[in-house]
Amino acid sequence: MSLPRAVALVPAALGLLLFTACAGGAVAEEAASSKAPEPTTEAVAEQTVAEACLLLQSGAMELVALGQQEDAFTAAMADPAGQAAKFESADAAFAAAVDQVSNAEVLVPAEVTSEAMHGLAAFLRGAIDDPAGADPNEVGPFLEDLYAGLGGIREVCS
């Protein structure tokens, strides 16, 4: 697989995974009737699972949007650096949402997911900066960690 193909497939796969992980069950129904809590400077001592999941759902919207682009693959093939920058922005938005989560049950898989996204964003940026030194096979471990984290989010938030 070429590097541009790897860059192109990542947002689509992750967007779908995040959408299904963050929009499951009762949380999705609650999200339809309420918006994510406003960020505060104080940690919420008794944040519910539903509140934490809504924060993650809100933070994942950039990545979901990337994955739902009809021309995401074509755009990534034409402009891998542009798609990598969009992924970096989505990573930052998700990390900001994770920073607001205080519910321990949700925080564990959210942090796993966020760390994997950070690693993948760094890999993509490195691959854009030095394509000859990039090994597309290195994407696999990041995706495995993402799948594990997203699976944990889906389990807790469903």
- 9-51, pLDDT tens digit by residue? 565 555 545 555 555 444 444 444 445 555 555 544 589 999 9
Number of domain units in the chain = 1
Cα maximum dimension of the chain: 49
Q: Rg for the chain (alpha carbons), in Å? A: 16
Rounded distance between C-alpha atoms, residue 65 and residue 90, angstroms: 9
DSSP summary character for residue 38: P
Percentage of the chain beyond pLDDT 70 is 71
Identity of the amino acid at 109: P
Q: What are the φ and ψ backbone dihedral angles of 47, each rounded to 5 degrees?
A: -70, 130
Domain of residue 71: give its range. Answer: 3-157
- Kindly indicate the confidence band of residue 64, based on its pLDDT and cuts at 50, 70 and 90: confident
Q: Please give the mean pLDDT across all residues of the chain.
A: 79
On whether the pTM is more than 0.85, the answer is no
Question: Hunting for tokens 């930052």 — which residue is that?
Answer: 92
- Count Cβ neighbours within 10 Å for each residue of 100-119 and write b for 16 or more, e otherwise: bbbbebbbebbbbbbbbbbb
Q: What is the pLDDT of residues 77-89, one digit of tens each?
A: 788 888 889 889 9
